[in-house]
Structure formats: structure tokens, C-alpha cells
Amino acid sequence: MMQTASHEDSVIEGSAGKGFQLRFPAGIAGVAIQALLILLLAVAIFGPLLNLLLWAVAEVWYFPHKLPVTYGTKYWEQVFSPTSDAFSSLMTSVIIALTTVFVCLLVSVPAGYALARRSMPVRALVMLLFLMPQAFPNLAVYMNIARLFYELGLNGTIAGVVLVHAVHGLVFSVWITVAAFSGVDEDLEKAARNLGASPLRTFFTITLPQALPGILAASIFVFLESLDEFTGTFFVGAPDVITLPMLLYNASMEGNYQIASITALILLVPSILFMLVVEKFMRPEMLARIGK
Amino acid sequence: MNQSRTLTLLMVVPALLMVVGLFVVPLLASMESAFATGEGYGFAHFAKAIELYGRDILYTLGIVSLSAVLIALLSIAIGGTLTLSGNRRLVAVLAAVYRWPLFIPFIVAAQCMRTFLAKNGLMNNALMSADVITPLEAVSFLDWSGIVFAFVWKQTAFATLMIAGAMAAMERSQIQAAANLGAGKARILFQIILPQVSGTVGVALILSIVTMLSVLSVPLMIGTGTPTMLTADMAFRISSYGDYGVANALGFISWLMTAGLAWYYLRFSMRNQQQSLKGGAA
């Protein structure tokens, strides 16, 4: 198997890149330097994550011990006991994230369809407006939303946190649904209409199923964005609404690194799952096609 | 036709209302509050902000600039290696390694660094075990250097993904032609590839800078003590004094830092969007 692969490699290189072969001999020194630099990068990237993992399974760890003194799952049991703060934070976070996805889709699906299909004045300007929350440092915006929400009685409520998360998620959901609806074959819609389907029926049986992968992708983005959000929750939710990132922050500031690290790991699970799932879409070659 | 116009508008209005109500209005309120003094409008909050936090403004500029330079250097180096390295296995390993921080939330990254970079953290422990430093030489990096490390750690993956994507989209034949004419790898990277992906590098850096100026968890959790970043100052001003005037003035200053950059970014994305529209029509 390996032999076949390397044989194919050399055939490809031989036919496509003669110049490369001549000018860039893969010298042992060059490969060694590259390998060393990649190793350094890997240490820098995985070192901090390893430290997090160690804290998650450490029961006792104090200076000057270089590694935890005792390992165990005591803190895991604490986190996952149904009466713990962590468990209720997890529930709060999931409820907020799911509601945020729902709110975002509720307003983005019609908006995305309209922006993709119907001629609209100042379309580019409207699209840019949805991009704005990403183009500004948004901390000051959160402060003033909190001030506004305080007057409306929305501060410290789940609804308030959902709204703050949703406006940031809107950037993803609107832009991705516009792209998804733009990709739907309009001739199929016309055919359905000609055969007597109502506009609504056409939308739900022809248009929506074709746009579904894009809408799902948008949902995943919005879900993760909400799950990981800290700053907005810090201003609008605290101290009443404690999401996982807020719990992590509080535990870390109190010096409870075990709880903080376990919470961090819980937050990592959906992110890493998502990374593995979208692995094939995240290749640079694929990304380069977006916007072409 | 008229009916269809109304329908279109109705479909877009809820989303628009959300952005206007929850982004544009608070943004304008923030600007108004930054300039509003007891009697009319003026620069009183700005004077106080500069007097109290002048050093932090410079400190923030320094941290963000240094991080941006390091992110640019690293992501161009990684992108260049991915594009030009002759060794497929190394490229595969590098591609698998560099993107890990991409989906890791800032708050998790901050917690990782809080333990990793501490005086008795894993980094110092490993260096001591390898006899690179003695226990007495171990210092905590939980200051500006830790903030820079966290920002670069997190944002390099993002910048590299964009930049390597642009490099992969280039015509391969140009690189081969340059190589055939005797150009070395470094020369190809700097004279052939970089000029063509400079727009993408710019956008990747602008997005990273906006992100760094927005993140609250990293300075709160890593940058202990003074001086600190503007984001931490704003949060402190609100939670300890309820002083919206000075906090919003600081917010305005951080907007000024990105205003020029954002303008470039919007122009670039508009151009991109027009291109994609043309592409879609064709």
C-alpha cells in the first residue's frame, strides 16, 4: 500500500513538477529543519491543552511537584452530579444555545431567501449590516445592550442572553442561508409552480430541502458561537445566568483549576467534534472555492 | 410587483430589526454616551479616560500590534510551507497540527494558558526537567507576554486557514515557471506568492485585530495586575463604578483603532462579494 502510494507520488511529481525536482531537491537537512519546526509548533499548540488535561484528572497538585501528586475522578463526579453548579450550567448553556439557533433560523431563513431570490434595493448594504457586528470590537456594544436591557428588565434573564447571542449569530446564519438559497435550482421551483404547487408548498417541498445542508451548517455555527460566548453573557447574564463559560471563569478566578479544566473540556467536546466533522470542508483547497 | 416588494420587505424586516435594535442602537448609544457630559457634549470623558488609562491604551496598541505581526509571520510561514514543501508527509502533519486552536473558544484557551504559562506551569516544569532553566530562573508569563501568546496561539490557526486557502487557489504554473527560472523557495514565497495573497493577509489580520480588541476573557484571566488591556478597563469601569461615560470613551478609542482597518475590510469584502455575484450570474 505504501509502495503504491509513493510510486504514484513520484509519477505525479515527475509529470507535473520537473522544475521542482531539479530546483528543490528534498535535502535531508531541509526536511530535518522543517520537521523540527513542525515539532516545535506542535509542542506550542498541544502543550497548553496537555496542561488542561492534566488538571482535569489531578486531585492533588501543588508546587514544586512537576506533575499531579494524585490522580482521580473526584472532581468529575462533582461536576456531573445532578445537583452540581456545573450540571445546571451545562443545562443553561444548552438551552440558551438551542434557543439562539431557533431565534436565528426564525429570522434568517426568510431573510436569507428574500436576499438570495428577490430583487431588493440596497441589497449589498443590507448584507453588510449583518456583517457589522463582526467588524467592530463589540465589548462596548455589549455594555450598552446591558444598560438597555436593565431598563427593559431583560438583564439577568435567559431571554436577554439569547438575544445577545442571536445578534452575533445572525452574521453566520444570514450569510450562510443566503449562500444556501442562492445554490437552489430555480428551474425546479418554476416546474413545481407550473404543476400547480402553491408558493408555500414549493418552498417547503422543493426549496427548503435543497438549502438544508447550508441551514444545518449555519445552525452548527450559531450553536457553537452561543455555547462559547463569554463577553455578552458577562455583561447581560451575570450573576443570575451562569453558562458554562461563566462557570469556567468563576472557577478559574477562585483558583479551582480542576473544575475550570473539566468545564473547559466539556466546552471543547462539541468544538472538536465539529472540527472533525467539517474536516473535509475545511481544507484550504475547498475554502478557496468559496466566493468564486 | 408591489405586493412582492412588500413581501420581500416583510421577510427581511425581523432580521433587520434585530441587528438595528441589538447592534446599531447600542452602538450609537455608546458613542452618544462617550461624548455626553453634564452640560451638552464634549471631550470630558475622553480626557478622564486618557488620564486614567493612557498607559493601557498604549499597552493595548502594543499587544495587538505585536500579536498581529507574529500572527502574520507564523501564518505566512505555515502557509508557505504547506504550499512549497516538497515533502508530502510533513505537509500532511503540519496541516493536521496547525488548525487545532481554530475551534477552541477563547475562554478555554485562556484557561489553558493560565495553567501552562504560570510560574509552576507545565512549560516551566518541562524546561526545568530538560535542564534548560533552573527552578530559580522560572518566571510567570501571566502578563503581556501571556496575552500575546494566547492571541497568537488562537488566531494563527484562523489566519493560516485563510492565507493557505488563498495560496492554494493560485495558479500552480506560476510557481513552477519561477522555479524553472531558478528562483529559490524564499524568493518564490516573497516575490510570487505573497503579492498575490496580500489582500487575504490583510483581511485575516484585520479580523484578528478586531477579535483581539473584543476579547475580554484573555486579559481578565491572563493579564493579572497593571497595566492591562482596554477591554478589562471597560469591564472594570462598569462593574466597579457604573461609569458608562469613561467606559464608552474607551470603547470609542478602541473603535478608532479599528475604524481605518474596518473600512478597508468592508471595501475588500464588497469587492469580493461583487466578484462572487458575477460568478453566480455566469
Taking only the tens place, the pLDDT of each residue in B20-55 is 999 999 999 998 888 988 788 888 889 888 888 889
- Does residue A62 have a pLDDT over 80? no
Q: Do B22 and A118 touch (CB under 8 A)?
A: no
Mean pLDDT of the B61-72 span: 93
**Residue type for B277, please?**
L
Residue of B6, B20, B23, B133 best to disrupt the A interface, most CBs of A under 10 A? B23
Q: What is the pLDDT of residues A121-147, one digit of tens each?
A: 677 888 888 888 877 788 889 999 998
How is residue A207 annotated by DSSP?
I
Residue B21 located in a structural domain: no
- Does residue A18 have a pLDDT over 50? no
Q: Kindly give, in sequence order, each residue whose CB lies less than 8 Å from that of residue B59, ignoring residues fewer than 6 positions away.
A: B144, B227, B228, B229
Helix (H) or strand (E) holding A235: helix A231-236
Q: Do B210 and A136 touch (CB under 8 A)?
A: yes
Q: Which residues of B touch A182 (CB under 8 A)?
A: 280
A270 upstream amide cis, omega within 30 of 0:
no
Q: Are A228 and B105 in contact (CB under 8 A)?
A: yes
Residue B153 has a pLDDT of 95
Shortest alpha-carbon distance between residue B58 and chain A (Å): 17
Shortest alpha-carbon distance between residue A48 and chain B (Å): 5
Q: Do B125 and A67 touch (CB under 8 A)?
A: yes
Three-state DSSP class for residue A70: strand
Q: Do A144 and B153 touch (CB under 8 A)?
A: no
Domain count, chain B: 1
Other Cβ atoms within 10 Å of B20 Cβ, number: 15
**Predicted interface score ipTM higher than 0.95:** no
The string of DSSP codes covering chain B is -HHHHHHHHHHHHHHHHHHIIIIIHHHHHHHHHHHB-SSSB-SHHHHHHHHHHHHHHHHHHHHHHHHHHHHHHHHHHHHHHHHH-S-HHHHHHHHHHHTGGGGS-HHHHHHHHHHHTSTTSHHHHHHHHTTSS-GGG----TTHHHHHHHHHHHHHHHHHHHHHHHHHTS-HHHHHHHHHTT--HHHIIIIIIHHHHHHHHHHHHHHHHHHHHH--HHHHHT--SSS--HHHHHHHHHHHH--HHHHHHHHHHHHHHHHHHHHHHHHHHHHHHHHHHHHHH-
Shortest alpha-carbon distance between residue B129 and chain A (Å): 8
Residue B28 located in a structural domain: no
Confidence category of residue B111, pLDDT binned at 50, 70, 90: very high
Residue B67 has a pLDDT of 95
Instruction: For chain A, give every domain's residue range.
Output: 21-72, 82-287
Look over chain A and give the mean of its residue pLDDT values, rounded to a whole number.
80
Residue B35 located in a structural domain: no
Shortest alpha-carbon distance between residue B108 and chain A (Å): 5
Mean pLDDT of the A2-17 span: 39
Q: Are B18 and A167 in contact (CB under 8 A)?
A: yes
Mean pLDDT of the A139-161 span: 90
Residue B60 located in a structural domain: yes
Residue A240 has a pLDDT of 87
CA–CA separation, A136 and A167 (whole Å): 13
Please name the residue of chain A whose CA is at the shortest distance from the CA of residue B182: A23
Q: Which residues of A touch B16 (CB under 8 A)?
A: 111, 126, 129
Q: Do B135 and A174 touch (CB under 8 A)?
A: no
Task: Give the CATH number, domain containing residue B191.
Answer: 1.10.3720.10
CA–CA separation, A69 and A66 (whole Å): 9
Look over chain B and give the mean of its residue pLDDT values, rounded to a whole number.
85
Other Cβ atoms within 10 Å of B268 Cβ, number: 15
What is each CA distance from A75 to A61, A258, A268, A276, in whole angstroms? 13, 7, 17, 28
Pick the closest to residue A145 from A134, A154, A137 (CA basis): A154
Pick the closest to residue A172 from A213, A212, A131, A113 (CA basis): A131
Pick the closest to residue B60 from B251, B260, B266 (CA basis): B251
Establish if B224 touches chain A: CB-CB under 8 angstroms: no
Which range marks the domain in which residue B255 is found?
A: 50-100+144-277
Say which of A34, A51, A144 has its CB closest to residue B121: A51
CA–CA separation, A8 and A14 (whole Å): 10
Pick the closest to residue B159 from B76, B82, B218 (CA basis): B76
Say which of B129, B172, B276 has its CB closest to residue A66: B129
Confidence category of residue B264, pLDDT binned at 50, 70, 90: low
Backbone φ/ψ region at A266: left (φ over 0), alpha (ψ -120 to 50), beta? alpha
Note the CATH number of domain A82-287. 1.10.3720.10
Q: Which residues of A touch B130 (CB under 8 A)?
A: none
Q: Which residues of A touch B15 (CB under 8 A)?
A: 107-108, 110-111, 130, 170, 174
CA–CA separation, A237 and A158 (whole Å): 7
CB pairs under 8 A between A and B: 300
Q: What is the pLDDT of residues B114-173, one digit of tens each?
A: 889 888 888 888 888 888 888 777 778 888 889 999 999 999 999 999 899 889 888 888
Q: What is the pLDDT of residues A228-278, one digit of tens each?
A: 899 999 999 878 899 999 999 999 988 888 889 999 999 888 888 877 776
Q: Do A137 and B12 touch (CB under 8 A)?
A: no
Q: Do A252 and B221 touch (CB under 8 A)?
A: yes
Q: What is the pLDDT of residues B169-202, one digit of tens each?
A: 888 888 888 888 888 888 888 888 888 888 788 8
- Angle at the Cα of B63 (from A135 to B77), degrees rounded to 5? 80
Residue B68 has a pLDDT of 93
Most confident residue range from A12-26, A105-119, B66-80: B66-80
